[in-house]
Amino acid sequence: FNHAAAYKNIKDEKDKYSVLDSLKTLWIGRFVSYSTEVDGMDINEAEKIIQKQARIFEEKFEYLRSVY
């Protein structure tokens, strides 16, 4: 969430790309973590993991709005 707020407030395009690059790295790490977590699960079990992540996002959404 703080990355979104930082990106919004940065004026220099070069600095915006730095923020995006760091987000890309975090996203790849999260993807690998998810892949490892659901390895061997059937699609319904993996979907439960995604639903849990979505609930957490919804719980934290007001924080995102407050910093963005």
**pLDDT surpassing 90 at residue 50:** yes
Which residue matches tokens 């639903």? 51
Task: Indicate yes or no: pTM above 0.75.
Answer: no
Residue 38 token pair: 């659901």
Pairwise CA distance, residues 65 & 46, whole Å: 28
Write down the pLDDT at residue 3: 82
Q: Which residues contact 41 (CB under 8 A, 6 or more apart)?
A: 49
Which residue matches tokens 């999260």? 30
The three-class DSSP label of residue 39 is coil
Mean pLDDT of all residues in 15-37: 92
**pLDDT surpassing 80 at residue 34:** yes
Average pLDDT of every residue of the chain? 91
